[in-house]
């Protein structure tokens, strides 16, 4: 506008009813052209120093002003509402007609100059899950794509310039090697205790642990009916936990990763593990070829405490004492015969179980080979809670080879009521349970546990768990896991 004002100052005032007066908002270039153009109505000056050649000079000056206005005045630009708009443009990655797309990159569809109004993506007739960003300009698949699979994508976008559609298809690459899951613990449809870990074992070492860990999704919801709460009925159901579970994965080696909650599972939960491994690149040339889903339930909360000094075991179910048992623990004459202290988990049970003294042959001192009834394993070093008819020692002395034995009827009750993953907390001995002895995972503090995560955070963003703590939050190295 500075140039427009300067150019106007060079021009004579417009006569009444001129174009500039009639249309005050018309572009200055048009109005000045009409005023300065030659014609029979144009005013003329006579006499004076400008009489002979002044008209040409004035015309030149006005022409320069007109050029200056044209080059410097923003008023010559058409209003935004009148400008033409480009038609929206849709792009996708992988590109249409790709024949060996990397599945681990997922599917991304983007709109430029508009927003995505519709999108469908299918692989073999199955819809591909995904979501739009907040502005609906980008759509991304939730997970990696399946290898060696054809995908069909249809997208529509709209904007001020109109609407457009894109239809494309592509195929993902065929991997040279595949990554598969050998085993998952717990079993599908199993009911477990509140300390239960999730253990995933792969058929080969995983190099890109971050990629694989991101693909492991854990979701939990309360069991849906009061009937699931047994004798506590609707009252317990009304107090049931609902919300995210704070947990994380921990790699013990390249072939096994374990999920553990920060505190014990809330009782009576339905838990679903989905390993979205199809298309995940675990190593160069190696991709997961199939997803895996395991569903299980967390049952009532049953936690047992064993005090080897008082020779007593107390079983609490949903916070109430369900059984008090006199016991006899390891005699502690050697490390081998010392019951380990710490947070154990029940792992398996048998009735009977054959027990043989380790490292000894028949005829050696201390050798035994016996069948023991109602035995519940709590470690991999031969420790069980089991039945034994030595009532004279139970509640009075520790005389076992390291197991916790109880009166046969009480051991049978414990056997019948135990689920895999029930915590058994032993105190009073000088032998600590190692974290890798059986399922001794609760022996690690939460700080130590999350150090084993490749993501250094509690899992993928869409997993049913709490987000990672802020980066500047200090976590005590000496923090102990709370079981209550």
Whole-number pLDDT of residue 484: 52
* pLDDT exceeds 80 at position 300: yes
Whole-number pLDDT of residue 467: 36
Contact residues for 5 (Cβ-Cβ < 8 A; gap 6+): none
Q: Where are the alpha helices (DSSP H) in 229-377?
A: 233-238
Residue 2's pLDDT band (cuts 50, 70, 90): very low
* pLDDT exceeds 60 at position 336: yes
Q: What is the pLDDT of residues 13-32, one digit of tens each?
A: 434 333 333 333 333 333 33
Q: Which helix (H) or strand (E) holds 259?
A: strand 256-261
What is the average pLDDT value for the chain, to the nearest integer?
A: 81
61/41 Cα distance (integer angstroms): 20
* pLDDT exceeds 70 at position 142: yes
Q: What is the mean pLDDT of residues 421-429?
A: 98
Instruction: Give the full edge-to-edge strand order of the sheet including 302-307.
Output: 342-345, 423-427, 302-307, 312-317, 320-328, 404-406, 384-387, 375-377, 348-350
* Paired tokens of 367: 């050798």
Q: Which helix (H) or strand (E) holds 177?
A: strand 177-179
Q: What is the mean pLDDT of residues 139-157?
A: 97
Residue 282's pLDDT band (cuts 50, 70, 90): very high
Q: What is the pLDDT of residues 177-208, one digit of tens each?
A: 999 999 999 999 999 999 999 999 999 999 99
| Least trusted range by pLDDT, from 13-27, 97-111, 413-427 | 13-27
* pLDDT exceeds 90 at position 10: no
| Least trusted range by pLDDT, from 60-74, 264-278, 361-375, 445-459 | 60-74
Determine how many CB atoms are found less than 10 A away from the CB of residue 4.
19
**Radius of gyration for the chain, computed over Cα atoms and rounded to the nearest angstrom:** 39
SS3 326: strand
């Amino acid at each position: 506008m500075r140039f427009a004002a300067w150019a106007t100052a060079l021009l004579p005032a417009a006569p009444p009813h001129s174009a500039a007066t009639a249309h005050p908002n018309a572009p200055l270039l048009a109005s000045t052209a009409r005023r300065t153009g030659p014609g029979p109505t144009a005013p003329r000056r006579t006499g004076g120093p400008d009489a002979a050649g002044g008209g040409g000079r004035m015309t030149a000056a006005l022409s320069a002003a007109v050029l200056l206005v044209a080059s410097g005045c923003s008023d010559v630009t058409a209003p935004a509402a009148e400008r033409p708009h480009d038609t929206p443009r849709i792009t996708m990655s992988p590109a249409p007609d790709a024949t060996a797309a990397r599945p681990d990159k997922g599917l991304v569809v983007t709109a430029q100059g508009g927003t995505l109004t519709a999108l469908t993506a299918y692989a073999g007739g199955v819809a591909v899950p995904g979501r739009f960003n907040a502005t609906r300009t980008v759509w991304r698949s939730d997970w990696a794509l399946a290898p060696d699979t054809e995908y069909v994508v249809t997208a529509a976008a709209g904007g001020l310039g109109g609407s457009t559609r894109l239809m494309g298809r592509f195929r993902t690459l065929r991997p040279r090697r595949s990554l598969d899951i050998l085993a998952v613990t717990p079993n599908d449809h199993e009911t477990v205790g509140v300390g239960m870990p999730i253990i995933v074992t792969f058929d080969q070492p995983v190099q890109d642990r971050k990629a694989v860990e991101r693909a492991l999704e854990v979701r939990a919801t309360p069991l849906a009916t009061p009937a699931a709460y047994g004798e506590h009925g609707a009252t317990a159901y009304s107090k049931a936990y609902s919300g995210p579970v704070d947990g994380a994965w921990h790699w013990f080696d390249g072939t096994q990763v374990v999920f553990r909650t920060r505190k014990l599972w809330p009782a009576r939960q339905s838990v679903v593990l989905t390993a979205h491994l199809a298309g995940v690149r675990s190593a160069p040339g190696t991709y997961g070829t199939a997803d895996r889903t395991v569903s299980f339930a967390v049952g009532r909360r049953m936690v047992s405490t064993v005090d080897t000094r008082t020779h007593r075991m107390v079983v609490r179910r949903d916070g109430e004492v369900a059984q008090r048992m006199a016991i006899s623990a390891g005699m502690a004459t050697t490390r081998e015969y010392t019951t380990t202290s710490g947070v154990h988990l029940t792992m398996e049970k048998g009735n009977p179980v054959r027990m043989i003294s380790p490292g000894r042959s028949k005829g050696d001192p201390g050798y035994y080979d016996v069948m023991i009834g109602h035995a519940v394993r709590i470690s991999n070093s031969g420790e069980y809670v089991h039945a034994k008819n030595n009532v004279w020692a139970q509640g009075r002395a520790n005389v076992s080879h390291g197991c916790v034995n109880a009166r046969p009827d009480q051991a049978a009750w414990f056997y019948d009521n135990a689920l895999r993953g029930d915590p058994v907390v032993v105190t009073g001995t000088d032998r600590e349970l190692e974290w890798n002895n059986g399922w001794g995972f609760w022996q690690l503090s939460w700080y130590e546990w999350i150090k084993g995560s490749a993501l250094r955070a509690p899992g993928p963003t869409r997993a049913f768990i709490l987000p990672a703590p802020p980066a500047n939050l200090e976590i005590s190295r000496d923090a102990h896991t709370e079981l209550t």
